[in-house]
Structure 1
Amino acid sequence: MTIRASRIAALLSTAGILAAAVPAGAETVKLTILGVGDAYNFAEEDGRGGFARLNAVAKAERAANPNTLYVFDGDMLSPSLLSGFDKGQNTIDLTNLVPFDIAVPGNHEFDFGPENFIEKMKASDYPWAAINITNADGSPIEGLGGVMVKEVAGLKVALIPVAQDTSPEVSSTGDLKFLPTVDTAIAAAKQAREDGADIVVGVVQTDMTNDRALIASHAFDVIMSGDDHSYATAYDGVTAYVETSIDGQFLSPIDLTVEIGQDGDGNRTIDWVPAFRFIDTAMVEPDPESQAMVDAFTAKLDESLNVEIGATETMLDSRRNVIRAEESAMGNVIADAIRAATGADIGFTNGGGIRGDRTYDPGTVLTRRDVLTELPFGNVTVVTELPGSQILAALENGVSQVEKGAGRFPHVSGMSFAFDASAEAGARVSEVMVGDAPLDPDKVYSVATNDYMLGGGDGYAALGGGKVIVNAGNGNLMANDVIDHIVAAGGVKVGVEGRIRTLGAN
């Protein structure tokens, strides 16, 4: 691994200052914690991230300090281009090269159902754990661990693994039960402290709102968190925190200089000071063994995915902040494609299922790879019949969390609507039109959507209960419908047309 010499010098200087602050006679341990999460894509992007660089960092950290804990805080099996074919096995193969000390399942571990997660868990050369996931009857899931206590250089380090309790809303978790993220985590952390843990580390897959609640509890010494796809560090004098970025692009190992001593009564005391390090993986040499596996996966994909399907005449935008908040030409072409493939009255899809997070300039020639990158979940196009009242309820759900950037934001075909994000959730939608006529709450319409939404994913319970015309077993792969639609149309000609209008303050 190559890191700029100036960074190394700065780290050594920091370590020297910390060492000087430790009183003579105390036992001092340096504990390093490296966390990563939201690692979907096996290859680098623009020379940064990917498993070859991630594995290189993990190997280097363990070589530099045997007192290193390497933790995964959720989301690897999906979504990615390759996971659409192997349901995430590529990420298991790559992480098995440099195993984690503990891995917490994120919501995307269940995108292909709980059976696939259990299969991939069994194929892992490291333990998976989550204290707040059980079977429907409350019994433990075979192979899924709980709180883990690691003995590290005389320290008892408790790892508290906690999953996101909203997973049933945003993934295909079947009948698994998810207990409250924050309450369960805090209770377990306090119990671990009572049981004699010297250092308590939360390994959590949850959003920043929950992260702040966990930090404020002061039940943890360290929190390594995923889910938000961002990089952040914080320390309030009690709890050190890292939000672990996406695809291993930016990493922040925490070095705890831990002083093990005694108080005046001879009781064991633990004091520590954190030092955050920043690693831009663009400056890291890929691990050769991992890179060889990455190259093999790349070759496997290239042959079939680089086939051109047509040019776009308009600018397509699938950036996360756009696709989850407003009308987008990318959302329009996908909704149009599933509607055209089925002949339904309405096409309806969710922004969270569109994952390319990029723009395509007019004139860009699209490939199969582009479509499968945008739609990596392997969802199937389905058709149901619903009254207009339920379609309105579905639209209300779609815009109910727009201010949070939630993936449920709807993209539509064959209809249009307006919404006011400043209004109370559940009363935001107005001016709904199907074709040239106002939505009739009593009329039954045929709706093309994806199997995830039909099953209630992203809170779309309103799409259930109708007469299913095309179920998941008989539907086409959604990405194939989009590819065929673009080919048949001779490219992409649709733009932003006013299908979704924003009223008031957003």
Structure 2
Amino acid sequence: MKKITILQTSDIHGSVYPINYGNNENVNVGLGKIASIINQERHLDDQLLLIDNGDLIQGTPLTYYSVQYLQNEQNPMVRILNYLSYDAAVIGNHEFNYGMNVLSQAVHESKFPWLSANIIDAKSKEPYFGLPYTIKEIDSIKIAILGVTTHYIPNWENEQNIAGLAFQDALQETKKWVAYIKEQENPDVLIVSYHGGFERDIENGEPTEKLTGENQGYAICQEVEGIDVLLTGHQHRSLIGNINGVEIVQPSNNGQMIGKIVLTLNEKNEIMHKASELLAVDEIEADEYILKMTAHFEEETQMWLDQPIGKIEGDMVISDPLLVRTSDHAAIEFINNVQMDIAGVEISNTSLFNDASPGFERNVTMRDIISNYMFPNTLKVLRLSGKDIKEALEQSAQYFSLNEAGSIEVNPAYIYPKPQHYNYDMWEGIEYVLDIRNPVGKRVTTLNYKDAPIQLAGTYDVVMNNYRAGGGGNFTMFQDKPVIKDIPMDMTEILVNYIRERQTVKATVNHNWKVIW
């Protein structure tokens, strides 16, 4: 019998050190710990395959600082993957966040191929990053690794970051390329590494989200003949299993765990058995050499994070995320005010991105900015109808549900299979009430602008982040609306400039909206 071991990372999001950058407390995350597991596995089998499934180069202050201030140095994430001898990586949607120059540099610096069969050059129609798949051989076993990426990226990403690219349907391109690989390469093992997740429950096939095409993992397993292993990501879920004979794995995010699949083959190179597991980093010490490789990046990042920016007068601290999302809060009003100020408009929306956002203490540093606004978003001003605004509020109102006791809670659909707190918006510049006792679609009971009812056929200019402006989070009413102004500056930089110019910012709450139940 022969054995193939496949190790998969996914959605590392720039995490190297086992720390929370908001407070520098130790947490069980990061490539440092993942590297220790990889080394342990290599002691057991030195011919294993090592694949990253995307969303590697963006996500922490370390990666943000490196692309903003250390552009002439090798990308720290690529440096680590080169050292660990990765066999391949897949382009994830967040790879584009810092622009094509940063991504192209990362690809150029890599000693391994970046794969994505369905991201193509809009003119030549060829895979933009060169290789749709790669071939490896272990113990006379021929292994094909095909890379594909969720094609939903144009709904989120800034247009200038993906100029010249076309995103083909991931499912259809997987069908095409798997058939091509089987005919042309005749591999013994065929692995698809898909930066996307599952649109259906992997056990019973029931839909777990709106079938937008963002996640097609279940359909790939059911509809594409000849796949032995499907590596997935994007959803930040912890999954192992087998769908229609295809072994699947998804290893969470931020380097909390690594996926492991072991294939057992006979002497004819026929697969006899498949087994998958997730190896958590909880009890693992970080590899000291990996930490040393990026030590100067980390040291400079920490100094940058502790730079004083200005002061807050009043209370902008967040202690209860649900309270923030059900009644106007100074931290949210502040971000909306900043957006309206730079955009020169009177209406804005934003989110409390996750439950760990701490708000702002009296003395504001860069660490506080990053802790509250962790995405490299830019801003757009859209011209919307009153009807669009009302539909957007109804979409947000789905975030809430009532339990059996009649108390408000977060709709489970926004928690499972992936937390989506960032898909609930709070608005400034309009007055509104959401009544969660009403059926979905009829929860907006008050909607005014300047003390008068909003006109459904009227037009209003609204500033929001680029993710939402593209319709991200099922806000389809925003898609293809006129863009009145594009503000390409990173939102963290906008927040810093706003505070520095004023030195002291007063916390205000005008109670322009509320949620009732």
Kept in 2: contact 1:113–1:174 (CA 8 A): no
Structure 1 residue 465 and structure 2 residue 465: aligned?
Answer: no
Kept in 1: contact 2:33–2:286 (CA 8 A): yes
Q: Look up the match of 1:230.
A: 237
| Equivalent residue in structure 1 for 2:2, among 11, 29, 32 | 29
Kept in 2: contact 1:394–1:463 (CA 8 A): no
- Superposed displacement of residue 183, structure 1: 2.6
Kept in 2: contact 1:306–1:369 (CA 8 A): yes
Kept in 1: contact 2:373–2:492 (CA 8 A): no
TM-score (normalised: structure 2): 0.76
> 1:99–1:136: structure 2 CA closer, same or farther, 3 Å change rule?
same
Q: Look up the match of 2:285.
A: 285
1:449 partner letter: M
Aligned-partner Cα distance in 1 for 2:327–2:455: 23
| Root mean square deviation, CA, Å | 3.8
> 1:211–1:143: structure 2 CA closer, same or farther, 3 Å change rule?
closer
Within a 5 Å distance, the mapping from 1:395-474 to structure 2 comes to: 403=413, 405=420, 407-417=422-432, 431-441=446-456, 443-450=458-465, 453=468, 461=478, 464-468=481-485, 471-472=487-488
Q: Look up the match of 1:348.
A: 349
Structure 1 residue 313 and structure 2 residue 281: aligned?
Answer: no
SS at match of 1:66: coil
Aligned-partner Cα distance in 2 for 1:304–1:461: 36
- Superposed displacement of residue 407, structure 1: 4.8
2:271 partner letter: D
Aligned-partner Cα distance in 2 for 1:76–1:56: 18
2:37 partner letter: V
Q: Look up the match of 1:480.
A: 496
> 1:297–1:466: structure 2 CA closer, same or farther, 3 Å change rule?
closer
Kept in 2: contact 1:310–1:486 (CA 8 A): no
Aligned-partner Cα distance in 1 for 2:349–2:466: 11
- Superposed displacement of residue 81, structure 1: 1.7
Deviations 1:180-232 (CA, angstroms, capped at 9, x unpaired)? 11232234334434442211111011122122222334642111111011211
Q: Look up the match of 1:4.
A: none
Aligned-partner Cα distance in 1 for 2:265–2:498: 55
Q: Look up the match of 1:189.
A: 178
Q: Look up the match of 1:44.
A: 18
Aligned residues: 460
1:285 partner letter: E
| Equivalent residue in structure 2 for 1:372, among 367, 370, 373 | 370
SS at match of 1:144: coil
> 1:179–1:463: structure 2 CA closer, same or farther, 3 Å change rule?
closer
Q: Look up the match of 1:136.
A: 122
1:369 partner letter: R
TM-score (normalised: structure 1): 0.77
Aligned-partner Cα distance in 2 for 1:58–1:474: 35
Aligned-partner Cα distance in 2 for 1:327–1:137: 49
SS at match of 1:67: coil
Within a 5 Å distance, the mapping from 1:219-368 to structure 2 comes to: 219-236=226-243, 238-261=245-268, 270-307=270-307, 309-310=310-311, 313=315, 316=318, 329=329, 330-342=331-343, 344-349=345-350, 351=351, 355=353, 357-360=355-358, 367-368=365-366
Q: Look up the match of 2:100.
A: 114
- Superposed displacement of residue 116, structure 1: 3.0
Aligned-partner Cα distance in 2 for 1:388–1:228: 33
Aligned-partner Cα distance in 2 for 1:193–1:177: 25
Which region of structure 1 is more displaced relative to structure 2, 63-72 or 140-149? 140-149
1:168 partner letter: P
Structure 1 residue 95 and structure 2 residue 81: aligned?
Answer: yes
Aligned-partner Cα distance in 2 for 1:277–1:302: 35
SS at match of 2:427: strand
> 1:475–1:314: structure 2 CA closer, same or farther, 3 Å change rule?
closer
> 1:398–1:111: structure 2 CA closer, same or farther, 3 Å change rule?
farther
Kept in 1: contact 2:59–2:374 (CA 8 A): yes
Aligned-partner Cα distance in 1 for 2:326–2:164: 33
| Equivalent residue in structure 2 for 1:489, among 505, 509, 512 | 505
Structure 1 residue 206 and structure 2 residue 206: aligned?
Answer: no
- Superposed displacement of residue 271, structure 1: 2.7
Kept in 2: contact 1:453–1:460 (CA 8 A): no
Deviations 1:268-302 (CA, angstroms, capped at 9, x unpaired)? x6133233344221322322221113432221022
- Superposed displacement of residue 463, structure 1: 7.5
- Superposed displacement of residue 394, structure 1: 5.6
Q: Structure 2: state its 5+ residue gaps.
A: 20-25, 69-74, 200-215, 400-410, 415-419
Which region of structure 1 is more displaced relative to structure 2, 239-248 or 372-381? 372-381
Structure 1 residue 59 and structure 2 residue 61: aligned?
Answer: no
Kept in 1: contact 2:222–2:244 (CA 8 A): no
Aligned-partner Cα distance in 1 for 2:238–2:328: 27
Kept in 2: contact 1:383–1:446 (CA 8 A): yes
Aligned-partner Cα distance in 2 for 1:436–1:463: 29
Aligned-partner Cα distance in 2 for 1:33–1:344: 52
| Equivalent residue in structure 1 for 2:110, among 100, 124, 129 | 124
